[in-house]
Structure formats: structure tokens, C-alpha cells
Amino acid sequence: MSFHEIVSAVLEFVREHEAWAPVIVFVLAFLESIVGLSLAVPSTPLFVGVGALIGASNIAFWPIFAGVALGGFLGDWVSFWLGFKLKDKVLDWKAVRERPQIIERSQAFVKKWGAAGVFIGRFISPIRSFVPFVAGMFQMSFWLFQFANATSAIVWAYILLAPGATFLRGYFG
């Protein structure tokens, strides 16, 4: 099954079972935010599609927005925790040894930008889930991380969903 077919199937399911939409987007945002899984679960196109679906129908915006934001927030929290607990052990993982530049780039990014890097990192696809992980590895302040995590999750969810929801609702509404 191609990526396009998967996106189409998920969007069709959301359209037919809109009561499940907040749960579906929560799970996708959570998985996409877990270190390493973001490469296997690229749900950003799905969120943009769900935003368009909201705009083209009567599906409620705020529950889906809450699902995306909360899933992204909790996924980054888990990635931060994994980095904090695993620290340098991850450098021995085969996948990291094969592509050490992911950790190196994420580390340089977090060192340079600090909490602002955590905020901005959510919007940079290749390092999205690695930034919170590295922030945990290098023991960024928990509360500073969580502030950047929460605010970026809210902005991220809104940016992904609102354009389609707003413009298409205005067009169809």
C-alpha cells in the first residue's frame, strides 16, 4: 500500500467516523513525536488533510486540534524522558551508528538555540523527534523543556489544521 493510499484511507475513516478523529490524530501525533518513529509515521500530510476535511464538512475543529496538540506534547515528553534515561547508551544503537549525524545535528541545534531550539525543532521534519530526545540526553531543564514543548505543540497543531479548516469552511460554509 502506497503512502498516498494510506493517507486516503485514514482521511476516509476520519470522515466516516468523525467521533474517532481526535483519538486517531492523537495517536498519530504521539507516534510521530517519539524518537525514531517520526521517520516511520510521517503524519504531517494527514493532519493537513484532516484540516481540509474539517473545513469541507461539519467536523468540529477544537477536539481534533486538542488531539494533535496533546499527542505531540506527550510524544515529545516521552522522547525527552527516553533521552534523559538512556543518555549515551543510544550512541551504541546500530541505527544511530549508521547515521550519527542525526544526533550530532540535533545536539548542535539544541546547544545553539536551547529551549527555542525545542520550539523550532518541532517544525523541522528530519530532526523533529530527535530534538526532545537530545534535550533529555544533555539534561535540559525539565520545566524549560516542557514550556517549549507545550507552546510548540499548540502552535504546530494550529498551523497544520487551521489553514484547511478556515479556508475550506469559508468556501463551503
Q: Residue for cell digits 548542535?
A: 108
For residue 108, what is its C-alpha cell? 548542535
Sign, CA dihedral 58-62-66-69, equals: positive
Lowest mean pLDDT of 17-21, 137-141, 162-166, name the range: 162-166
Distance CA 74, CA 80 (A): 10
State the pLDDT at residue 168: 61
Domain residue extents for the chain: 3-172
Confidence of residue 126 (pLDDT cuts 50, 70, 90): confident
| φ, ψ of residue 67 in degrees (nearest 5) | -65, -45
Q: How confident is the model at residue 173 (pLDDT cuts 50, 70, 90)?
A: very low
Of 5-9, 26-30, 98-102, 151-155, the range with the highest mean pLDDT is: 151-155
Position 134 confidence tier, pLDDT thresholds 50, 70, 90: very high
Q: What is the pTM of this model?
A: 0.87
Please determine, for residue 39, whether its predicted confidence score (pLDDT) is greater than 70. Answer: no
